[in-house]
Amino acid sequence: MARIKLIQPDEATGILSEVFANLIEKRGKVSEVLAVQSLHPASIQSHLNLYMDIMFAKTSLSRPEKEMIAVVVSVTNGCVYCKTHHAVALNNYWKDEARVTKLIADYKIAGLSFREAAMCTFAIHLTKYPAEHDNNDHTNTLKTAGLTDEGILDTVLVTAYFNFVNRIVLSLGVELEKEGGTGYKY
């Protein structure tokens, strides 16, 4: 149970009701990570806009690459909620549950390309040791793996976004939905 009050979609009024209705129309339902922000409806829309820009905008990273980064960052932070949601999303693209399970256990055994492994290594390092990135250029491995500056930026944005969301989930006690992260529109 979340550690703060949640307003459920059937209880929502005003702007929150509109935000929830829009989410249900576009995504199929309201996730708990967004419902936990129900006391601040404007933050839900801002959060969703950021999520859509980072995860769904066409960039030099593919959707599966973005979901892969989401999974390894969430595993690193111990965020079961986000790991579960984004493992389901990743499997929507990979269509290989065994490979997703290997990614969760240890990305080094998941049969990743050099590019994918470089992104995972970078994302995990940035998650664990952000201060080390201040005075050291850890982007060289990404460049060696063929990422452009845009791809490097996108890797950082996805990593930073999931560190942000993982902290919302973990600090506020957001629980995984009964469906385990399934049933969303991709």
Fold that domain 63-172 belongs to in CATH: AhpD-like (1.20.1290)
pLDDT digits (tens, 9 = 90+) for 59-87: 999 999 999 999 999 999 999 999 999 99
Cα gap 125→156, rounded to integer Å: 11
Cα gap 84→43, rounded to integer Å: 23
pLDDT digits (tens, 9 = 90+) for 16-56: 999 999 999 988 889 999 999 999 999 999 999 999 999 99
User: Can you give the pLDDT at residue 154?
Assistant: 98
| Nearest one of 34, 38, 39 to 52, comparing CA atoms | 34
- Measuring CA to CA, how many Å separate 154 from each of 45, 71, 96, 151? 21, 15, 24, 5
Cα gap 73→120, rounded to integer Å: 8
pLDDT digits (tens, 9 = 90+) for 132-155: 999 899 999 999 999 999 999 999
Q: Is the pTM of this model over 0.85?
A: yes
Mean pLDDT across 157-177: 97
Ranges of each domain in the chain: 9-56, 63-172
Rg (CA), the chain: 17
